[in-house]
Amino acid sequence: MFGKPLLAVSLTSSVKITVLCTALVALSLAQAQKASASSQQAASNFMQADGNGDGALTPAEFKAFIDLNAAHSIGRAQTVRDRNLYGRAFGRLDANGDGKVTGAELQSAGR
């Protein structure tokens, strides 16, 4: 008497778990794709802001980089722009204090 309903519940639960797992995987993939797209856009913004092409951003170039990222809703760029925190953000990212922010310094800060 209890065998059939219990089996039916197990199959239904199994199907629900499978659907839930599939949805979670799809969501994770979508988030990974969005993160990848944001990373690619940020890299493009870095190259665009790097006016002299030396692979490092001066404070003025950094401001342009933040503004480009803010326009694409990348990271905390909108907050930096809206609160005029360019100098503070630049200082935190310029790990070696040479007055420039490199791609490597940005990547290190993101970890």
In angstroms, the first-to-last Cα distance of the chain is 57
Neighbours of 61 (CB within 10 A): 19
CATH number at residue 35: 1.10.238
Reported as a single tens digit per residue, the pLDDT across 64-106 is 999 999 999 999 999 999 999 999 999 999 999 999 999 999 9
Q: What range defines the domain where residue 60 resides?
A: 3-110
Instruction: Specify the pLDDT at position 73.
Output: 95
- Structure confidence at residue 77 (pLDDT): 96
Number of domains in the chain: 1
Burial of 72 (0-12, 13-18, 19+ CB in 10 A): middle
- pLDDT class of 37 with cuts at 50, 70, 90: confident
More confident residue, 96 or 111: 96
Answering whether pTM is above 0.85, one says no
Average pLDDT over residues 31-60: 89
Please name the residue that has the structure tokens 């969501």: 27
Is the Cβ–Cβ distance between 17 and 23 less than 8 Å?
no
